Amino acid sequence: MTIFEKICAKEIPAKIVLEDDECVAFHDINPQAPVHVLVVPRKPISRLIEAGEDDRELLGHLLLRAAEVARRLGLAEGGFRVVINNGRNAGESVPHLHVHVLGGRPMSWPPG
């Protein structure tokens, strides 16, 4: 069980922003911006490349919840970044698909 599965199961506490039957969104414990929230599907998918056609609806749901997180935390007007890391070279640290919502400061391009 990954740490994200344990958070979804309420075995590990987290500062939850929103949750529903499909996902849980919570503040990252190692934030890279003033606002850094992870949107994690309850279904364990190790990474985006492992998602299948049957995950199409779930993937769309994660993006819609990321937008809701941004609205709830006041990021909609100033802007925010949505990131999905896939694999070690992309910075993935937990093998459970998740969406980062980052905001509260200007973001540079290209990202590091």
Known catalytic residues are 98
On whether the CB atoms of residues 8 and 22 are closer than 8 A, the answer is no
- CA angle, corner 109, sides to 66 and 65, nearest 5? 5
* Nearest-angstrom CA–CA distance, 68 and 84: 17
Q: For residue 49, what are the β-bridge partners?
A: none
**Structure tokens given for 102:** 């980052």
